[in-house]
């Protein structure tokens, strides 16, 4: 197994292949340590993602989807240990295994620039004593040595304008922004270096409906504009995925039980667990919606036409 | 003394849903418990010790020896007997004052944090004002106004001046708990304020109350000895502080009579250190973010993991038992 | 909450505290049953140190100065008036020495020891605590335990130990006092050089304990911050550890600034007794003597000065905090 150690070349627009494979993940095994026994959270997962593709990673709490996301974003740290796994991206094979602080250090150049993370709940993701513009500068100079504050801010401003966000958030502190705005600012920071792959971990779970929609539209726009080439969207919220993702992977107890194009998986699930998961998400059919409207108007629901009446 | 006036962590750390579930007693905890118990035993041993603390058994500063393990003090009394009696006195004052201070502090903090609104503002304002005025000053002022001080009057006075920091810490916890849903459920079900406080809120606050009590006892013992050294101690009784007071007054340090001042100094240091260590280790039990894992166990686990990872890399290890051998089904149409 | 409102609120509460402190300072000693002057004067006469004439003079002076025959509230305003014009009265025990003179002689000694101890202790303590938190491992363990031990020790306990070990036994430092016999205090190089050797032990016993307290606090805060979400996110973005350390430091410092206010109060209180141990002619020794002589004007003056000084220091610290914490300095602008 080759261990790539050279940092990736900075992403440059225009050289990305629109079709074809973006990333291949092979045999990821992650465990939680800390007691007598380690707990296996991800048990031999492999998947592939194409250019411009959004992969939805769904499952119930505790299935390992967040752990898999953390593993791919290379932010695993004790008590989470990655025993095995590789990520092939841009002709580079990255060893995802993380057993010691040295491994954590080895992954640093990739974090935020090759693979980036959009964390769950941006509420505390920004230090309360740091202005957004300082954070922006710190992220940039961690990967491009010698970049000046002005250069970093210019890039951030351009990005904010492109995504129709107010430029003055750069001068703000975290406590001056609303929840939804914080989430979008985090999204901008996470993608500032044009990562090839973005792992979004429950990005919409803490938001209200309109903020959710804004965020999803923003992500789609960014994929469209090739800011990032692929997204892994981790969530338990299946309805959101059915609208956003191209491909869907269902996880249970550390393994992927079924994976395929979203529409087909939703309409024609194969695996019994997938079927169970989908059915538990109540998606009102047209008929039920009708009944609901009648009830709201105050009348009794119209009985289904009997065979006698239909004659 | 430089005992931090609050538990050594941030007040606002999230309360645990069941504080008693995962007790993780470290070495620190056992060491501190041993120290505290040793001090208590020292105090109680005075009941068994043959010589009384008021008996004159020698002259000024006789060195240890001849049946007197710690020699005599300036009055010619057996230093060890005085030490035991003094420890007992100090512990009693500490316990009484600690109980009073913790009770007041928890009560004020609970009401302020849970009821909120203007009552909280007023209570916290009062707390901050009392907190800003150095407690030793208030203690001095009260003590010189009293014609005579006894153990009980001292304990009460110390107790009613020591509660503010506890009130602050408890209030921070109570107000974060007050916003939790099941409290609203209790309210809706018609339970009245006192019963809500006792039945729902108090268990969460319990860990803080326990830690606060530990620090209050230690603080009270030290406050009493500070007052005694200034000459405001309990009249007619021996305490650790009065022992030191007499030692200083009769130049024990300069004349090298170490047996007269070292024992009470050591006991006082053990008391403050032992109680503080106890509180810190309890803090680690209740607040997992402070825990730093047991070294040996972590080393073993890391070695085990490294072996497993190496085996995986070499391709020897089969997938963990229980993995589904069937290929992952994909819907018709194939993946990209 | 914005800066203006914060400053206003703090000023308000500190004024209340000041009024309460002055009120307590005035009221408590006057709660002594019976005419305090009679008791005091009769105590003085018992010692045989004053003639009947002087006794009469003291009595009349006191009654006249503070209007003891007038109602309590009128006495209070007389007292306030005197305090604001800087007249702290006349000493009983050292009649006719003015309290101002006595305190004026003692104060510089106390400030010279305490102020550097606070400043140096704060800087070094926070540094040590931060390093321990970041290094972790054995370094952290030993620093934590030793800091905990030192910080829990009452200031005067360390004083006694240092005095005995380093002065009496080892003879490295002089045994008490502030300067050699025969010299008179003056601002000359010769005198200062002599005074320095007497300065070390009192200074060390304060600064060491203070460092311990700050180190423990800072370590706990830094460890707590290390587990924060923003640390995880910064790491996830590939930000270097040095930069992350800066974030943590800035956040951990905030509660440390708040804690400084309390620590100053504790140090000032503890320093009083430290002076007793070293026979250091500061405010502590003055207070001790005044207590033993029932010299109420001196006692009251000292307690007032100490309280005001501590309140002022606390106030300054809280204002600084308002400027440093962005959540107070920069108002919420409500971006949507």
Give the closest of C234, C254, C336 to A178, CB-based.
Answer: C336
Name the range with the highest mean pLDDT among A149-158, A210-219, B171-180: A149-158
| Neighbors of chain B by Cβ distance (3+ pairs < 8 Å) | A, C
pTM for the model: 0.77
Residues C251, A127: C-beta atoms closer than 8 Å: yes
Compute CA distances A263 → A212, A245, A248, A279, whole Å. 21, 9, 9, 15
- With tokens 């998986």, the residue in question is A265
Q: Are B173 and B146 in contact (CB under 8 A)?
A: no
Comparing CA positions, the residue from C65, C228, C244, A217 lying closest to residue B14 is C228
Q: Are B144 and C291 in contact (CB under 8 A)?
A: yes
Q: How many CB atoms lie within 10 A of CB A293?
A: 11
Cα pseudo-dihedral B71, B77, B83, B86, rounded to 10: -170
ipTM reported for the complex, 2 dp: 0.82
pLDDT at B200: 65
Residues C224, B147: C-beta atoms closer than 8 Å: no
Q: Is B161 touching C (CB cutoff 8 A)?
A: no
Residues of chain B in contact with residue A100, where contact means CB-CB under 8 angstroms, are: 302
Chain-centre distance of CA C335, in angstroms?
A: 44
- CA–CA separation, B89 and B8 (whole Å): 28
Distance from CA of B300 to the nearest CA of A (A): 9
Q: Which residues contact C241 (CB under 8 A, 6 or more apart)?
A: none
**Which region among A164-178, B196-210, C58-72, C272-286 has the lowest average model confidence (pLDDT)?**
C58-72
Residues of chain C in contact with residue B292, where contact means CB-CB under 8 angstroms, are: 136, 140, 223
Q: Are B158 and B223 in contact (CB under 8 A)?
A: yes
Across A60-89, average pLDDT: 88
pLDDT at C74: 77
pLDDT at C66: 56
Chain-centre distance of CA A91, in angstroms?
A: 23
Residues C335, A166: C-beta atoms closer than 8 Å: yes
Give the closest of A119, A128, A166 to C233, CB-based.
Answer: A119
Q: Are B7 and B283 in contact (CB under 8 A)?
A: yes
Compute CA distances B61 → A294, B143, B260, B268, whole Å. 100, 30, 7, 21
Residues of chain B in contact with residue A257, where contact means CB-CB under 8 angstroms, are: 324, 328-329
Give the closest of A1, A34, A44 to B323, CB-based.
Answer: A44
- Give chain A's domains with CATH numbers: 21-268 (3.40.50.300), 274-302 (no CATH)
Name the range with the highest mean pLDDT among A31-40, A45-54, A292-301: A45-54
Across C135-154, average pLDDT: 86
pLDDT tens for each residue of B133-143: 888 888 888 88
Give the closest of C235, C327, C332 to A75, CB-based.
Answer: C235
pLDDT at C38: 66
Residues A124, C254: C-beta atoms closer than 8 Å: no
With b for 16 or more beta-carbon neighbours within 10 A and e for fewer, the C151-176 pattern comes to: bbbbbbbbbbbbbbebbbeeeebbbb
Q: Are B128 and C15 in contact (CB under 8 A)?
A: no
Residues B313, A269: C-beta atoms closer than 8 Å: no
Distance from CA of C270 to the nearest CA of B (A): 6
Q: Is A128 touching C (CB cutoff 8 A)?
A: yes
**Which region among A296-305, B36-45, B61-70, C197-206 has the lowest average model confidence (pLDDT)?**
A296-305
pLDDT tens for each residue of A94-144: 888 888 888 888 899 999 889 999 988 777 899 999 999 999 999 999 998
């Amino acid at each position: 197994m080759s261990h790539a150690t050279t940092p990736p070349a900075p992403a440059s627009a225009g050289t990305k292949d629109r079709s074809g494979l973006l990333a291949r993940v092979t045999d990821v095994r992650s465990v939680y340590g800390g007691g007598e026994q380690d707990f296996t959270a991800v048990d031999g997962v492999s998947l592939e993602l194409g250019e411009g593709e959004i992969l939805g990673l769904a499952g119930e709490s505790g299935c390992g989807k967040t752990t898999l996301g953390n593993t791919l974003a290379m932010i695993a740290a004790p008590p989470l240990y990655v025993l095995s796994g590789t990520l092939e991206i841009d002709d580079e094979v990255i060893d995802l295994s993380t057993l010691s602080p040295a491994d954590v250090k080895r992954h640093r150049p990739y974090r935020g620039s090759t693979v980036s993370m959009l964390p769950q709940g941006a509420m505390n993701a920004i230090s309360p004593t740091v202005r957004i513009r300082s954070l922006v500068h710190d992220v940039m100079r961690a990967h491009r040595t010698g970049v000046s504050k002005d250069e970093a801010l210019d890039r951030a401003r351009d990005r904010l304008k492109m995504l129709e966000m107010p430029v003055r958030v750069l001068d703000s502190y975290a406590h001056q922004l609303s929840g939804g705005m914080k989430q979008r600012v985090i999204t901008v920071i996470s993608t500032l270096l044009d990562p090839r792959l973005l792992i979004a971990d429950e990005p919409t779970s803490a938001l209200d409906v309109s903020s959710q929609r804004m965020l999803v539209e923003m992500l789609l726009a960014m994929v469209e504009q090739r800011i990032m080439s692929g997204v892994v969207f981790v969530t338990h919220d299946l309805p959101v995925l059915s609208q956003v993702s191209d491909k869907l992977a269902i996880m249970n107890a550390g393994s992927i039980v079924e994976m395929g194009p979203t529409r087909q998986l939703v309409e024609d699930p194969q695996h019994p667990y997938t079927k169970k998961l989908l059915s538990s998400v109540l998606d009102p059919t047209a008929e039920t919606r009708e009944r609901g409207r009648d009830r709201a108007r105050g009348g009794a629901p119209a009985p289904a036409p009997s065979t006698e009446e239909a004659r | 003394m430089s005992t931090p006036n609050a538990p050594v962590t941030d007040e606002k750390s999230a309360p645990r849903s069941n504080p008693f579930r995962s007790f993780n007693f470290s070495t620190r905890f056992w060491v501190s418990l041993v120290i505290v118990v040793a001090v208590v035993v020292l105090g109680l041993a005075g009941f068994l010790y043959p010589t009384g603390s008021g008996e004159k058994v020698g002259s000024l500063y006789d060195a240890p020896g001849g049946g007197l393990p710690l020699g005599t003090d300036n009055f010619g009394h057996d230093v060890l007997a005085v030490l035991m009696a003094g420890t007992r006195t100090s512990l009693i004052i500490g316990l009484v004052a600690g109980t009073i201070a913790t009770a007041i502090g928890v009560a004020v903090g609970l009401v302020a944090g849970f009821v909120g609104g203007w009552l909280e503002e007023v209570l916290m304002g009062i707390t901050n004002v009392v907190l800003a005025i150095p407690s030793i000053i208030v203690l001095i002022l009260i003590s010189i106004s009293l014609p005579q001080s006894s153990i009980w009057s001292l304990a009460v006075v110390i107790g009613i001046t020591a509660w503010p920091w506890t009130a602050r810490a408890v209030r921070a916890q109570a107000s974060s708990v007050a916003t939790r849903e099941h409290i609203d459920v209790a309210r809706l079900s018609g339970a009245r304020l006192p019963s809500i406080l006792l039945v729902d809120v108090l268990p969460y606050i319990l860990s803080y109350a326990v830690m606060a009590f530990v620090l209050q006892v230690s603080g009270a013992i030290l406050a009493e000895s500070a007052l005694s050294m200034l000459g405001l101690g309990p009249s007619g009784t021996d305490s650790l502080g009065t022992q030191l007071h007499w030692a200083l007054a009769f130049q024990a340090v300069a004349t090298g009579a170490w047996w007269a001042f070292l024992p009470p100094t050591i006991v006082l240091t053990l008391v403050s250190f032992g109680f503080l260590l106890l509180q810190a280790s309890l803090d680690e039990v209740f607040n997992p973010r402070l825990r730093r894992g047991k070294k040996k166990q972590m080393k073993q686990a890391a070695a085990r993991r490294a072996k497993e990872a190496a085996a995986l890399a070499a391709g020897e290890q089969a997938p963990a038992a229980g993995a589904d051998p069937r290929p992952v089904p994909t819907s018709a149409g194939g993946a990209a | 909450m914005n800066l203006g409102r914060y400053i206003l609120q703090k000023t308000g509460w500190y004024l209340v505290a000041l009024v309460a402190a002055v009120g307590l300072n005035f009221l408590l000693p006057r709660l002594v049953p019976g005419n305090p002057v009679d008791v005091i004067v009769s105590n003085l006469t018992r010692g045989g140190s004053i003639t009947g004439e002087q006794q009469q003079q003291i009595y009349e002076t006191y009654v006249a100065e503070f209007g003891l025959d007038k109602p309590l509230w009128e006495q209070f305003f007389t007292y306030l008036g005197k305090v604001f014009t800087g007249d702290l009265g006349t000493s009983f025990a050292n009649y006719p020495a003015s309290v101002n003179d006595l305190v004026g002689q003692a104060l510089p000694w106390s400030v010279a020891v305490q102020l550097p101890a606070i400043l140096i202790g704060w800087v070094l303590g926070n540094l040590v605590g931060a390093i321990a938190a970041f290094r972790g491992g054995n370094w952290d363990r030993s620093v934590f335990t030793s800091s905990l031990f030192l910080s829990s020790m009452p200031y005067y306990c360390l004083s006694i130990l240092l005095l005995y070990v380093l002065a009496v036994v080892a003879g490295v430092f002089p045994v008490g006092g502030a300067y050699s016999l025969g010299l008179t205090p003056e601002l000359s190089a010769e005198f200062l050089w002599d005074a320095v050797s007497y300065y070390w032990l009192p200074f060390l016993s304060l600064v060491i304990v203070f460092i311990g307290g700050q180190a423990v606090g800072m370590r706990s805060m830094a460890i707590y911050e290390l587990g924060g979400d923003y640390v995880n996110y910064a790491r996830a973005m590939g930000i270097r550890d040095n930069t992350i350390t800066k974030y943590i430091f800035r956040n951990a410092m905030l509660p440390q600034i708040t804690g400084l206010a309390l620590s100053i109060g504790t140090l000032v209180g503890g320093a009083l007794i430290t002076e007793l141990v070293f026979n250091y002619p500061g405010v502590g020794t003055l207070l001790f003597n005044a207590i033993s002589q029932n010299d109420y004007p001196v006692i009251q003056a000292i307690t007032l000065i100490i309280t005001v000084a501590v309140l002022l220091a606390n106030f300054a610290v809280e204002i600084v905090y308002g400027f440093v914490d962005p959540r107070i300095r920069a108002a919420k602008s409500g971006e949507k």
